[in-house]
Each structure stands twice: as structure tokens, then as C-alpha cells.
Structure 1
């Protein structure tokens, strides 16, 4: 179980944060500004497309695929947007072993274009590493098919070099400006006992990489008409991320820090992340990934109303709130607290203010807020069913919603909250 007193100890959090994940999240706004400036310099501002592509494929792994899901939610029916994950995995190439002491975990993975991809489609290849040979091969395959190609990768990487060979538009990946990962220090009293910290076989991905992919990607899709955001939406998103970083900063007490409160709420639970609509669905998927990546916790994500059917068995299983109701007199002193379900419902409720979440209109909120059930709106029927299901089985359900009218700003609110919460959950568990 998590010792939530660690959440109010900034020094302990800093000691546990060996790869500076909190700083990476705090710098997300700055990376968005830099990425937008470099994307304009790379030629996005000068684009004059003849029309939208038939489909957009976003190839990569990790945060690149999360960016694809977000793009699909923002594009709606304007264009088919599909994430392209690795199709297969093979042995690491000899060249990778010679050039790098520790090859990327994605080394040896391969990607495959779908059979329908062709000259009227756009392929975006995104990588924070830029040296996956499978992505280089994918770029060559797309060039042979006549696809338009955009590459988001670090300057000087193999993928950036391949972009020139296949006449792709190269867009910058803005890396994190953070110091190298710190190795864990020996516990007190064990320095002289030959203590050696375990080497991380699976280093976690930079949590700020999502915005380094999403900013140039959205700058591109705005120019090509795939997305239609309000004027100034992209630059203002950086401000929203800065505001979230201030609210969720490590030295903010848990009772004023929504991310710490959410992390404490998830401790000792099996989270069901339910979402109302595609935008919140993208956030739920991202949160489930980050809980696994950063918090080391499993979570199930799903869209309403499908999630009610897909997850209903969880409410009558061993994790349900009413599990083991008959054995009241069993001695539980020496037993660990049981894991229970916790439902988090993520929503985008445009125009509803924090002070009056049930109002028909109002100013944008300052961030995500906990919102009671609302079964009056057309989309509230599934939400009401979710509340009734949880209440019938004594499972706690909490809503988190953003009332910002701009969907990208609402996304920034919810992603920042859940990203910080996943990191805090992992750090507090590690510090304990």
C-alpha cells in the first residue's frame, strides 16, 4: 500500500524521481512552444496543400501512438486517422549492437503499411529515438507506394537522415532539456555492504514526449485541414500546461494538488477508467498506459456505454465493493487490505464552470474538476447508468471533467492531471 504522507514530502519525491519525470511534465508547455517555432521554421507555415489526404497513418510506439489517438479524436469525421503500431519483432540488428551499448527497446521491431495505403494518403513517422531500423524501412516502403511522408525525429538520427532520402517533410522532435538519469542511492546503512541498485531493464519513456509529438503533428494537421481548432489554440495550450504544472507541483500540499489527491485515491485499487466521448477516451487510454509505465499498476480503460458491458463482470468478482460480505467476524488484523475497484469517469463538458458545473453555459474552468452525475443531457444517459451500476455494487465512482470550450485545452487539462497523478503514484510507492 502507498504511504500517502510521502506525497507531502517534496524532498522524498525528488529523491525518488531518478529520471526527473516531474520536471519533464513541468516543462511540457515550453516544449510545445519550441516545437511550434521549429515546425514553422521547418516549412509547416509555408505549406499550401491542395486538399486533405484520404487517410493519415501515424507510425511509432509509446507516446507517438497516444498522439495518433488524440489526433483521431480531434479530427472526428474529417479524415481517417489510424495509429500504426509495430507489426512484428525480430532480433536486434548487428549494426545497432555495435553503435549502441544499450539498443532501444524498440530495436528489432518492424512496421507494415496497410494494403490500402497509397499516393493519396499521409504517413507520419514519429520517434523520440530516431534510430529504429523498422521505421526507416517503413519510410522506404511508403516512398515506394507514393505516400506523402512526414518524419518527426531528433536531428542527426537515422530516421531524420532517411527523411531526406525519401523526400519527406522533416519536423523536429524537441527532446527534454533535463539532466541524465540519476542512479538510486544505497539505503541508509547499506553503503558498505556491497549494495548495487538494480539496473532498469525497461527504462520508462519520457512522459513529456507526448507533447513533443503532438505539437508539430497538430501544426501540420491544422495546415492540411484535418483538424480545425479555434484560432490561437496551439500556442495557448502551452499556457494551459504551465497552469497545470503550477497546480500539480511537488511542493503543493495534497489537499490543494489535484494530481496528488488522485494518486492517493487510486492507491490500493484496480482502476476502471471510463470515458464519455472520443476525446476523453484518448485521455483514458493514455492514463492506463501511464499507470502501467509510471505507477506499475494495471488499469482498464473503455468508452461509455461499451465499458458498462465490457467491465460489468468486474463488479461481481473478487475486486467488487461487496466482495466477501458474509464473513463479518473473520480476523483481518494480519491480512493486507484487499484491492477494490475504483471507477474514474473522464468527461469533456464544454462551457460548464467549476463553481456551477450543472449550468448550461459559463466561463471555462481553471482545470479539471470533480463533477456529480448529470442525467439531463442527451449524453448523460450512459453516465447515469454508470453511477447506478457503481452504487448498486458499492464501488466508488468519481468524475473528472474539463469545462473548457476548446477541445485541445480540455485535453491538456485532463492529460496533465492524469500524467502527474501516475508519476506521483509511482514515486510515492518507490519512496515507501
Structure 2
């Protein structure tokens, strides 16, 4: 069954209304961050008072499937050894001298519940951001356990709650919940379904993605994390093989691209078989020499193969806010891609 992209659907109010269930949660991302940060304030204050005499941990272990986001934020900043451990158990050396932190936005993951129960059994200090009364919360009962209550099930909002707590105990950078929420609001306004595609960056990006297999790259650690999440969104929206990775993984894909044939007939050649790559660069303003060098290599190869390049950039105030903007911008574009694709 052939698939084609109808950009007129992106400004059709009736069509957009059909996808309100997918677009509305994107618009509410900033509100979720504010709600979670506000609701967790009292629990954070109580935890800081209760733990004010505790010494700095030997190491911080981020457990559970969402540990990679914490790693991307904390690894460059944490003053003690830090490890992300997304597996089913904890490292064998973890014990009473260590702090285990976990994001459990849904609170129902059995593997996360088992990991936090193991941390309690070993006598670790434990901080879990999860819904009160959830499976994970039930397994987190213990003397040295802090539960930061969450309600929205949003991974980023839950991460902000945890990062603000870790900032307070001098184990992480400034998180700035309000700054993250404002950054998300700015994207929601710019990418609103009510904004015409001529002035809507997410709709324009969806049009650029429509007849391509995207290759997504971010230079910094957090931009690379956002690139992987955006590629996942594109795959879910289109069923295409959107790929994100390090420059060494992406360069061979660009180098293998044949020069564009100006005489090719896209209708005669088929809509899916010969989709060309598009290089999507997520730019969070990182200007380290290695990032500049890698970006230059990617852009040079893309230019030599006639590969189109699109850039999503951000100037938000903190690293986490810039990550949030890149992720939400790419997610909006993915949803508009889904809306515009029509099967014949």
C-alpha cells in the first residue's frame, strides 16, 4: 500500500481535531513540569531536613530504565562517582555508602520495583520519584528511603523533580524547573497546530522529513540523548528507519548515499523504495572543539552527497531546558509527519 504526504492536512482544522489526543499532551508539557515541581516541594523539604546530617555518598547509582537521562545530565557534574544501571539488578558493590536514585514515572514497572527493593535490602540510601501508592513506592518502604511524589507519568517532569532534589544536596547542576517549563511553553506556542505551516517550524520540518529516511545527530551528551528520542518518535510516526547515533556510526550512511539523479521520477520509482536520507542536526549550542569538528565532518559529507540538512536549535538558559526544547520540537515534527502521511 503506497503512502504519500499531504501537507494540506497540517492546516486542516478538522484533521487536526482528530489528532488532538496526540497534540494536546505536547502542549501541556510545560504545565506537567510545573505541577510535578510544585507537588514535590514539601517532600523535598522534609527529605532535606531528615537527611541534613548525612555524609556525601561514596557513589550515585541511577537505577531503572530511565537512568540514561539522569546520566546525560549528571555525569559531567556529579562530584562523586556516578553510574547508570538500567539492568534488572544493582551493581554487586552497591551498599550502605551509596545513593540509589530512580525515576519511575508510571510506578508500575516490576523490574524497577525489584531494583529499588534490592537497594533497600542492601541498606543503600534511596531516592525514588514515583506515584505514591504505586508498585515501586510499595517496594521502596524503608528507613533511608525518600519518595518524591509524582502524578503525571511524564519522564521529563519526573526527572526535573529528581534533579532539583540532587541540586539541593550538591550532587547535580542547577535544574531550574521554571526555566524548563518556560522553554517547553515556547516550543508549544511556536509549534501549535493553530499556527500556519508557513510560520510553524515543526510543520515545516515534517514536510522536510516527509520523503526521507532521517539521520539524527546531536553533538553534546544531552543533544545526543534527544536525537535518539526524536528518532524513536519518527520511527513510530512513519514506520521508517530513522537512525540516531555517534558521528562514527552516521558517517558511513551518508558516505554510502548516491548523488541525487536530477532525472529521476519519484512517482515512477515508487514512494518508499528509494527514500534519500536527511541529516537532522539537533544544536543545543555546544561549542566544544570536538563538537565543531564532528559537525563539520557530517555537514561536509552531506554536502558532497547532496543530502539535505535541517537544523533544530535552541537558546534556552540551562542544559536541561535546551534538551527539553530539542526533544519537544522533534516530537512535534514527528506528530505532524504522522498527520500528513496518507495511505492510498
1:322 lines up with 2:259 in the alignment = yes
- Aligned match of 1:249: 192
Unmatched runs of 5 consecutive residues or more in structure 1 = 88-110, 177-208, 351-373
- Aligned match of 1:206: none
What does 1:108-147 align with in structure 2 at a 5 Å threshold?
111-147=88-124
**Partner secondary structure for residue 119 of structure 1:** coil
Unmatched runs of 5 consecutive residues or more in structure 2 = none
- Aligned match of 1:382: 294
1:12 lines up with 2:10 in the alignment = no
Q: 1:77 to 1:137 in 2, by over 3 A?
A: closer
1:310 lines up with 2:249 in the alignment = yes
Q: 1:255 to 1:279 in 2, by over 3 A?
A: same
Q: Please give the alpha-carbon distance, in whole angstroms, between the structure 1 residues aligned to 2:45 and 2:343.
A: 44
Q: Please give the alpha-carbon distance, in whole angstroms, between the structure 2 residues aligned to 1:57 and 1:116.
A: 11
Q: Please give the alpha-carbon distance, in whole angstroms, between the structure 2 residues aligned to 1:80 and 1:389.
A: 38
Q: Is the 8 A contact 1:39 1:171 kept in 2?
A: yes
Counterpart pick for 1:170 among 134, 144, 147: 147
1:428 lines up with 2:333 in the alignment = no
- Aligned match of 1:368: none
Q: Please give the alpha-carbon distance, in whole angstroms, between the structure 2 residues aligned to 1:4 and 1:113.
A: 48
Q: Please give the alpha-carbon distance, in whole angstroms, between the structure 2 residues aligned to 1:134 and 1:116.
A: 19
Q: Is the 8 A contact 1:71 1:81 kept in 2?
A: no
Q: Is the 8 A contact 2:62 2:71 kept in 1?
A: no
Greater shift, 38-47 or 76-85, is seen at 76-85
- Aligned match of 2:74: 72
- Aligned match of 2:229: 286
Deviations 1:357-392 (A, max 9, x none): xxxxxxxxxxxxxxxxx9x97742322222211111
Q: 1:153 to 1:276 in 2, by over 3 A?
A: same
**Partner secondary structure for residue 424 of structure 1:** helix
Q: Please give the alpha-carbon distance, in whole angstroms, between the structure 2 residues aligned to 1:173 and 1:76.
A: 25
1:159 lines up with 2:136 in the alignment = yes
Q: Please give the alpha-carbon distance, in whole angstroms, between the structure 2 residues aligned to 1:402 and 1:330.
A: 36
Greater shift, 139-148 or 167-176, is seen at 167-176
Q: Please give the alpha-carbon distance, in whole angstroms, between the structure 1 residues aligned to 2:125 and 2:284.
A: 33
Please, what TM-score do these two structures have when normalized by structure 1? 0.70
What does 1:334-373 align with in structure 2 at a 5 Å threshold?
334-337=268-271, 338-349=274-285
**Partner secondary structure for residue 334 of structure 1:** helix
- Consecutive aligned runs of 4 or more in structure 1 exceeding 4 Å deviation: 49-52, 328-333, 376-379
Kindly state the Cα deviation for residue 302 of structure 1 after the two structures are TM-superposed. Answer: 2.4
Q: Please give the alpha-carbon distance, in whole angstroms, between the structure 2 residues aligned to 1:31 and 1:167.
A: 28
Deviations 1:112-133 (A, max 9, x none): 1122322232222322332233
Q: Please give the alpha-carbon distance, in whole angstroms, between the structure 2 residues aligned to 1:65 and 1:331.
A: 47
Bigger fraction of residues in helix: 2
Q: 1:212 to 1:406 in 2, by over 3 A?
A: closer
Kindly state the Cα deviation for residue 342 of structure 1 after the two structures are TM-superposed. Answer: 0.6
- Aligned match of 1:150: 127
Q: Please give the alpha-carbon distance, in whole angstroms, between the structure 2 residues aligned to 1:266 and 1:24.
A: 22
1:32 lines up with 2:33 in the alignment = yes
Q: Please give the alpha-carbon distance, in whole angstroms, between the structure 1 residues aligned to 2:44 and 2:224.
A: 32
1:273 lines up with 2:216 in the alignment = yes
Counterpart pick for 1:225 among 170, 195, 220: 170
Q: Please give the alpha-carbon distance, in whole angstroms, between the structure 1 residues aligned to 2:191 and 2:298.
A: 28
Q: Is the 8 A contact 1:343 1:397 kept in 2?
A: yes
1:2 lines up with 2:5 in the alignment = yes
Q: Is the 8 A contact 1:215 1:234 kept in 2?
A: yes
Kindly state the Cα deviation for residue 12 of structure 1 after the two structures are TM-superposed. Answer: 0.6
Q: Please give the alpha-carbon distance, in whole angstroms, between the structure 1 residues aligned to 2:214 and 2:67.
A: 22
Q: Please give the alpha-carbon distance, in whole angstroms, between the structure 2 residues aligned to 1:349 and 1:330.
A: 37
1:415 lines up with 2:334 in the alignment = no
Q: Is the 8 A contact 1:295 1:427 kept in 2?
A: no
Deviations 1:98-120 (A, max 9, x none): xxxxxxxxxxxxx1112232223
- Aligned match of 2:318: 406
**Partner secondary structure for residue 341 of structure 2:** helix
